[in-house]
Every structure is written in structure tokens, then in C-alpha cells.
Amino acid sequence: MTATSLPAAEPVLEVDDLRVELRTPRGPAHVVNGLSYTVGPGETVAVVGESGSGKSVSVLALLGLLPARVATVTGRAVLQGEDLLTMSSDRLRQVRGPGAGMVFQDPMTSLNPVLSIGKQLIEGIRAHSDVSKEVARRRAADLLGEVGLPDPERALDRYPHELSGGMRQRVVIAIALSNSPALLIADEATTALDVTVQAQIIDLVERLQADHGTGVIWITHDLGVVAGIADRVLVMYGGRCVEDGTVDDVLEHPAHPYTRGLLGSLPDLAQPLVDGRVPDLTTVPGLPPPPTDLPAGCVFWPRCPVRSDPRCETEQPPLAVLSPGSGGLEHRAATWCESGADR
């Protein structure tokens, strides 16, 4: 990869050529194939793509949360000056929490059903700082208050099943933030929630981020969410970054046919009616390629509506800089298709 765009401050996380290969019964699956990006302090990077594009695996790999028996992770992922991928498992355990906290997709299953909320928060706090149970408990109650749980003191003694999905996700966020991490990874954190709750959770994360200067990786397939929260966007397809840049660049001037397909599949309420009806949404036909059998050329060409260049089928397009972008952040895309020419 060439020309990594660097924000002004020292980045919190710097990922370089991350590759993940999973052993499957159908042969090796190339789930992440050379991903590079940086996350600055207080910055939100959204990683978008449809199911199976390797988004979740790419972040689970960072924290060593993939089963070691089946996953091979290579590349570099430097968090606050230390490479996560080469550090000892003991050191990695210390980094999980204070270094990077993680919020998962489904709040209904990501908390232990038989332990109280308090226990689950306190054990995380005490794993990283040598404090008494009472101190940890007070800090846990403060955290619950901070994430907007009513009556935090009593909530500590409640069990996950007594809370709604949105409240549970707040608890998961409180757990992720309990050791003031430099980086927060939200893996489809609002996907399982209904829209109003989704908006509350997003507001919450933005507020906490502003207060603590946390860098955020926000994984989602919801471009509406991206527009609302992200500073930068990274579009993933077939385990590769096919386009990245500032939110404005990517959403306003998408260059990759896949990004355009994703944007075209969004409903637009401001759109004029056609024959008195809302015009049909466009879709990206077909399915993503199986990671065990990626196409030789551009990963997207089997589904690509453009396919203008003879190299599409045979040669992997590099991430090329399209414009210097705003605020020193380049807009890049990996496609042979002439940017903007056939929009």
C-alpha cells in the first residue's frame, strides 16, 4: 500500500496490510486481504460493506479474538506504539480494555445471562486496576450513569434479562469504556436495535468520544449511520478496501462501482415520485464472492454493472488516489473504472 493518509496528531491505531486467513473444511478462506488504515484520536472511521465482506473479522483479528486454531493473522496493527499482532498473549490481555474496548452486535447475547450487570462491569475494572470491590463498584455505577442507565446503583444488581435491548447495549458500552480505552471498536453496535434507540446509542458514543478523545472504529452496513457519525469511511468488499476517504468525498462522489451500488440501494425520502410512486430501489445483484474462492482480478467484477476495462477480469486494481481530499485526507478507490466518467 502506498500513500497512507495521516491526520495531524499521532494516530491511535495504524493498521498496515492486515490479512486474515481462516482454515475451513472447504480450504483456506481469505477473509481479509491487505487492509490498511489509521484511526486518529477523537476520529471516527466507519468500515462499511455487506455481510461477509470481512468487516467483523478484521477487527476481531486486531484484538486476537479469533480462534487461534483456525485463524492466521498477518500484517501490522500498531495501537499506541505497540504491534497488537506480535505482542504476547499476556500483554494483549492487558491491552484489551485500557487499549481498546469493543461493543458487539447483539446486546441480547453479548452479556452473560447468569451474572449481574455489576459483576460483569466490576470484573472488567478489576482486571486492569488494583482497586477494592467497593471502589470498582462505585466506578461501575458512575459508568452506568454516564451511559444513561436510570438508577445506576440499583441497576448493578440487576441481570441482563431484566433490561431492554437498548439498555443492555448501554451496559456493553459501559463495559467497553470502563478502562477508558484509547480506541473503541463498535461492531455493528446498533444493527440489532430499533431506529430511535439506534440514534440514542450513536449520540451516546459521540458524546463520550468528544469527552474522552477516543478513536472509534464503527463497523456497519448502514450508510445512514455512516453519514451521521463518521469522519472517514472505508468501504470493504471481498476482504479488501475498495474505496476510502472522507465521508463527504465517498458519499457525495463515490468512485467505485460497488460504493455506488450501496448508495443506490438506499431509500431517499427527498426523491421526487415517479408516476405517483416511490421509484424502485436499485440493488447490487448477486452475492459477495466466497472467501475460499476469490476472483483473480477485481474482487467485484463478477457483480459489476460497468466492467469497462479488459483488466477487470485479470488484474487486481490498486488503491489509487483520486483527489487530495479535504483536510489532508485523500480519496482513494481500487477500480479500473474511470472515476466519475460513467456516473
Partner 1 sequence: MVLVGVSLIVFSLIHLVRGDPVRLALGTRYSQETYDALRHRNGLDLPLVQQYVTWVGRALTGDLGVSFRSGGTVTSLIGERLPATLTLAFAAVFLALLIAVPLGTVSALRPRSFIDRFATVISQIGISVPDFWLAIVLILVFAGTLGWLPTGGYVPLTEDPLGWLERLVLPAVATGVVSGSVLTRFVRSSVLEAMGSDHVRTAQAKGLPERQVFTWHVLRNALLPLVTVTGVQLAYLLSGVVVVEIVFSWPGLGQLALQAVRSRDYPVLQGAILLFALVFLVINLLVDLLYSRIDPRIRR
Residues engaged in binding partner 1 (CB under 8 A): 63, 65, 93-98, 101-102, 104, 106, 109-116, 120, 123-124, 127-128, 159, 161, 172, 175-176, 178-179
Report in angstroms how near the CB of residue 119 gets to partner 1 at its nearest: 8
DSSP state letters, 53-106 = SSHHHHHHHHTT-S-TTTEEEEEEEEETTEETTTS-HHHHHHHBTTTEEEE-S-
Report in angstroms how near the CB of residue 157 gets to partner 1 at its nearest: 10
Helix, coil or strand: residue 146: helix
Radius of gyration of the chain (CA): 21
Instruction: Residue 24: count other Cβ atoms within 10 Å of its Cβ.
Output: 13
Report in angstroms how near the CB of residue 73 gets to partner 1 at its nearest: 15
For the record, the C-alpha cell of 4 comes out as 497512507
Report in angstroms how near the CB of residue 80 gets to partner 1 at its nearest: 15
Q: Report CA torsion sign: 331, 334, 340, 343.
A: negative
Nearer CB in complex with partner 1: 117/235: 117
Nearer CB in complex with partner 1: 99/238: 99
Report in angstroms how near the CB of residue 243 gets to partner 1 at its nearest: 29
Helix, coil or strand: residue 230: coil
Pick from 316, 291, 298, 294: nearest CA to 21: 291
Report in angstroms how near the CB of residue 90 gets to partner 1 at its nearest: 9
Pick from 339, 293, 285, 335: nearest CA to 311: 335
Nearer CB in complex with partner 1: 166/297: 166
